[in-house]
Structure 1
Amino acid sequence: MASKLSNEELKKIFNTFDNNGNGKLSYSEIESTVLRTYPEFSSRKKVIMRAYKQADGSKNGYIEIGEFGIFLDSLNHFYELYEIFQKIDKDHDGRINFDDFKKGRKVLKLIDLSEAELKAEFDKIDMNHGGLILFDEFCNYAIKRNIAAQVH
């Protein structure tokens, strides 16, 4: 997405986010602009936060123009992952339990695994061992396995 934009186009979009004109974007500026432009993100704030954290390479708490293209690409990528996550999270409570995971095995291309292997895979993803896969945990797993590219 952003890789197809010229520097001028990227700067123009950046400026629509930069409400106070200081040349750096806070999470608040990013969230408000994304929600104003794309209201469907109101139920996907985790996607915005994940993209923001991914793009903040300097770890200074702001997205600067050099990081903005990464933010836009990350926003698109994590949106795709969220859509996959939602297909698996049948009750849409923002968590995937083992039953959801078993039912979603086709989406994840895990149809050849036995139930024991599937449980081991689930436990590997469930980094905090809470018995549920959260969106951040799913993203870490999906990125390692390049799941978005496999689904599309």
Structure 2
Amino acid sequence: MSALPSDPSSAADSVPGQDETHHRVRQVLTAVLEELRARHPGLGEFQDHRPARDRSSGDSWQGLQTLCHVSALLVGRGLPDPAEAAGVIDAVHRAASAHGLHPRAENAGRGMTVVSWAGEEGDLLELVLGVRVAVRMVSAPFLPGSLAPVPSTSPAAVLSPRTPPPRLVR
């Protein structure tokens, strides 16, 4: 299943570039972390646990490879209060909804709950509640190549690997 538009005539306007995608991911993550910090200060600061990366989307557009951005896994330093789990989910939901993301799935297991939101463009936001609280985002496919590279899409990080220019798919 492709996240790219199925109508080729609208595809030119629908496949965003790298700069737009990275900016959108950073905006959503910043809003989510601000909401969590405001409503649940006990979670503490969030740190990059795994680095951000651009990876192949498994698709192409007009012969050019498209990528997806996987944000850093942002993990809170503080321990979540199990009684406040619904409040944590609500805080992320408020920020996600403000950016056009809608509830997608909620899986509760022993000691861990994973909740996700999806956008119409194909973006995916995930919240993991367990011993710690973690957040990450996977973008919709985009065309690589940047005119103004951002060092990171993570509100908590300073460095991120740069993405190479687009290449033809064989």
TM-score, with structure 2 as normaliser: 0.27
From the two aligned structures, give the one with the greater strand fraction. Answer: 2
* TM-score for both structures, normalised by structure 1: 0.29
Bigger Rg, structure 1 or 2: 1
Which structure carries more helix by proportion? 1
